[in-house]
Amino acid sequence: VNIAQELARERPNLTTPISVSKEDISKLNSINPNRFDVKKINLYNKYDRDILAAMEELKSAGESPNPKLIKGLMLTETGMIPRKNSKGFEGFPQTKMKFVRDVNKKYGQNFKKSDLYNAKQSAKFIHYMLKAQKRSRYVNDTKEALAAYNWGMGHWKKYKTGKKPLPKETSDYVKLISAFAR
22-81 confidence digits (pLDDT tens):
999 999 999 999 999 999 999 999 999 999 999 999 999 999 999 999 999 999 999 999
pLDDT tens for each residue of 82-135: 999 999 999 999 999 999 999 999 999 999 999 999 999 999 999 999 999 999
Alpha-carbon span 54 to 39, nearest angstrom? 26
Please tell me the distance from the alpha carbon of residue 9 to that of residue 172, in angstroms, as a whole number.
23
- Can you tell me whether residue 90 is helix, strand or coil? strand
In this structure, are residues 156 and 148 in contact, taking their beta carbons and an 8 Å threshold?
A: yes
- 108 Ramachandran zone, left/alpha/beta (phi>0; psi -120 to 50): left
Q: What is the model's pTM? A: 0.89
Which of 120, 68, 145 lies closest to 111, judged by CA? 120
